[in-house]
Structure 1
Amino acid sequence: MSMLTPPGMGGEYRITGDKYPRMRRTRKRRRIVLALVASVAALGLVGWGTLQLIDVFSADEPGRTVAANKPDCKPGPAVTPKLLKPGQITVNVFNATPRSGLAKEVAAELKKRGFAVGKVDNANREFDKKVEGTGILLGSKGSAEGAFPVLGAQLAGAERQIDTRKKATEIDLILGKSFKDLTKKQDADKALAEAAKPVPAPKPKGC
């Protein structure tokens, strides 16, 4: 009888040989561990995906801001207006009122203030006797920033209009029925000084 056979057992229960049978528990353990690791990883991915979906669908909720899309709200550098000097601006003076000689008077005063004077005449049919206010500044789109504020300081309340001309340094001043006189020079100079001050840059959208 083999040493592997328990005492009192024989026959068909007899164990022969001198080696223990191999046990294959190691492979089963590895499979279980791998299965657990895969399950944990899958649950982690599902959780991460759920959080991403929540962020996407709640980004538009009132009071909620997505950090990645938050604009930089730091104030930018101030913008200094690029105003022209009076000598760089040519003013054509037109009289749309019944007052005789008004265009010449205004043109002479503007020349004293340093402006270049172009045409001096009565207004054409489009404007003659049809301007109810103090006057109209008529120029190109490029005149809006550099020239209009300078000439506009000389005549408070003048309406500003854009036409198709290309020259940004030439403006028509059409005197209206409510015109009495140009703004006093000292007041016009103060208005120009204010217009020349740097303007804070606009805040980015969303700030």
Structure 2
Amino acid sequence: MTAPIVAGQPRRMRQIRAALSLLVALAFLAFAFYKAYGYLQSDHGTTVGSSSCMTGSAKAPVALPKDTTVNVYNATTQAGLAAEVARKLRDRGFVIGEVDNDPLKKKISGVGEIRYGSEGREEARAVSLALPDAKRVNDKRTDAVIDLAVGAKFVDLAAPPTCS
């Protein structure tokens, strides 16, 4: 004897399969949206470049060196350090303002300090590409001029970003 066929069993199986397929499709779409949202929140694919390869992202652009005026100050006892750093920054396209000993007369034990105001935030980021270990200090100035005080642990500027 064969098992009796219960009315509706094949229809019930089709409903379960359809529900499972829908759940799998929704899970896949949720994962895809999650990945896409994370990709959009990161800096992938939104780089903005210049002829000097100073880059940033569309959400946080970096000022171009030719738009950035930098005062270079020596905050160490090593003679000529500010002039050397100013020459290297000028070679990278930065506009150099004053070159002198630190007017604040601070002796900086680290690599340096990048001093800026709210108008110079992007310019400070451009300088920090050359000195990534320098401390950024918002000193509330009202212009976009950057002061770079070179400290005792300064060795050399970081390599400029490479063009690809």
Partners of 2:146 and 2:118 in 1: CA distance = 11
1:95 matched to 2:70: no
Partners of 2:105 and 2:66 in 1: CA distance = 29
- Out of 156, 161, 164, the residue aligned to residue 189 of structure 1 is 161
Aligned equivalent of 1:131: 108
Shift of 1:126: 4.0
- Out of 124, 144, 148, the residue aligned to residue 124 of structure 2 is 148
- Structure 1 residue runs of 5 or longer lacking an equivalent are 1-72, 194-207
- The one-character-per-residue Cα deviations of 1:7-48 (angstroms, maximum 9, x if unpaired) are xxxxxxxxxxxxxxxxxxxxxxxxxxxxxxxxxxxxxxxxxx
Aligned equivalent of 1:159: 135
More strand by share: 2
Partners of 1:155 and 1:83 in 2: CA distance = 14
- Out of 75, 95, 99, the residue aligned to residue 37 of structure 2 is 75
Which letter maps to 1:75?
Answer: Y
Which letter maps to 2:132?
Answer: A
Q: CA RMSD in A?
A: 2.2
- The one-character-per-residue Cα deviations of 1:56-107 (angstroms, maximum 9, x if unpaired) are xxxxxxxxxxxxxxxxx88395571222110000000000111101111111
Greater Cα radius of gyration, structure 1 or 2: 1
Partners of 1:134 and 1:107 in 2: CA distance = 15
Partners of 1:181 and 1:151 in 2: CA distance = 13
- Structure 2 residue runs of 5 or longer lacking an equivalent are 1-33, 42-56
Shift of 1:137: 0.2
Which letter maps to 2:76?
Answer: T
Shift of 1:164: 2.2
Partners of 2:131 and 2:140 in 1: CA distance = 23
TM-score (norm 1): 0.49
Partners of 2:91 and 2:76 in 1: CA distance = 23
Q: 1:114 to 1:156 in 2, by over 3 A?
A: same
Which letter maps to 2:156?
Answer: D
Partners of 2:129 and 2:146 in 1: CA distance = 14
Identity %: 35
Shift of 1:125: 4.2
